[in-house]
Amino acid sequence: MAMHLRWLSAAPCWRAVRGACGELRAYGELRAWAPRCAAGRLCRPPGTACREQSRGLGYGPPVGGGSRLRTRLAAGLAGLVGLAAAAFGHVERAEMVRKSSGAQSASPGRPEEEDDELARRCRCFMAPPVTDLRELRRRPDDMKTKMELLILETQAQVCQALAQVDGGARFSVDRWERKEGGGGISCVLQDGHVFEKAGVSISVVHGNLSEEAAKQMRSRGKLLKTKDGKLPFSAMGVSSVIHPKNPHAPTIHFNYRYFEVEEADGNTLWWFGGGCDLTPTYLNQEDAVHFHRTLKEACDQHGPDLYPRFKKWCDDYFFIAHRGERRGIGGIFFDDLDSPSKEEVFRFVQSCTQAIIPSYVPLVKKHCDDSFTPQEKLWQQLRRGRYVEFNLLYDRGTKFGLFTPGSRIESILMSLPLTARWEYMHSPSENSKEAEILEVLRHPRDWVP
């Protein structure tokens, strides 16, 4: 799984150096990162550039054929926008290095645009954008540009926070390309001090939706206007699943994405989707309240009805039907958000990405050094088995990706934990801590008013 470094070799603000055993490394390991970018200035939280005051969201209910169509298509394309794993053998690394000692003006003989605001933002990222900087400069107000920069900022912020918590492990950075159009950047930490496996990936893909996929969408109640059997689309998003080692530290998943589909008559359909959910091995009431309250505060900035609506949607979506239980204690989940305007929905997604770190990192810090018994570790492995069952049997993005030609299998399966366990007819003792979490998974609770 070779990493494509053509951009790195040409870009003046990125440099990779080859270390021992052919490993590509950069000056300053990720584990030593402070929350500052390579230029020495403080990195903004995801999506905070040019922040505007929210005017609130007035989403209509997700009903109707077009809505079902977009939900299905969004879930399908999410397989392409999902996590991308690094190879588990020889892994090439490319990480940010300081371009200079902090000079903000263009160097002699260097184009001034290489020191513009966009270039300076890019120095905070884990790798250069998928889209060429010249293209991003040509369309600064296009939603595809805004969303790509948001997901890159989110990836960098989360990776920095996780690396600092882990206290020694490094993220491998795998830059990949999709022959049909676009590519992605996968950041993976494995066998760390705190995290067994943590992946944070972004994808920016485009091309033509296959006729088979278009037919599948039509069966959901919408007639797509194709031309010569082609339906151009663009999709981009950030996805992450983080599995800590300690059974008292919960697993988190988040995904935020944007889609555009261009019909034959030139009409462009667009929508946002995403969510964030928590999967603890054992129930901790205080943790559950903190997680849900943080997400609710992000949602409430844009309307009081959003959190309860998206919380229920999350409980309903992450349901393991054959077990009669949810994957975790929920969070928020939404799809097909296309009103009242791109800018207002985008600002809502910004708020959601900014809630990731404060909702989760304090919980890991709180529990990463907790003592645990072999029985508690066993229960964690059994619950991870349930996580695998949901992702392989029910997750629409995973299923779509596995059956889509040209899909990147490592990317699709990135969400799976390193270890899991299944035992025949295992049942926890009555009134045990294990039975307590099962009761919550079978009957979801409202954690915050």
Neighbours of 46 (CB within 10 A): 27
Query: 3-class SS at 271?
Result: strand
Contact 401, 251 (CB under 8 A): no
DSSP 87: P
Q: Using CA atoms, how far apart are residues 83 and 96, in angstroms rounded to an integer?
A: 21
426 as an active site residue: the answer is no
**CA 423 to each of CA 11, 61, 417, 418: distance values in angstroms, whole numbers, following the listed order:** 52, 41, 17, 17
Length of the chain: 449
DSSP per position, 148-182 = HHHHHHHHHHHHHHHHHHHTS---EEEEEE-TTSE
Q: Using CA atoms, how far apart are residues 237 and 274, in angstroms rounded to an integer?
A: 9
**What sign does the dihedral 39-43-44-47 (CA atoms) show?**
positive
Q: Which residue has the tokens 């394309």?
A: 77
Q: Kindly name the residue from 206, 253, 290, 367 that is annotated as catalytic.
A: 253
Dig out the tokens for 279 from the structure: 């999967």
**CA 277 to each of CA 167, 251, 299, 326: distance values in angstroms, whole numbers, following the listed order:** 25, 9, 14, 11
Dig out the tokens for 419 from the structure: 């270890």
What backbone phi and psi angles, to 5 degrees, belong to 292? Answer: -70, -35
DSSP per position, 16-66 = -EE-GGG-EE-SS-GGG--SB-TTSSBPPPTT-TT--------PPPS-SHH
Amino acid, res. 252: I
Q: Which of 262, 302, 7, 272 is nearest to 134 (CA)?
A: 7
Return the H-helix or E-strand segment holding 107.
Answer: none
Contact 340, 58 (CB under 8 A): yes
Q: Using CA atoms, how far apart are residues 39 and 33, in angstroms rounded to an integer?
A: 12
Q: Hey, which residues are catalytic here?
A: 253
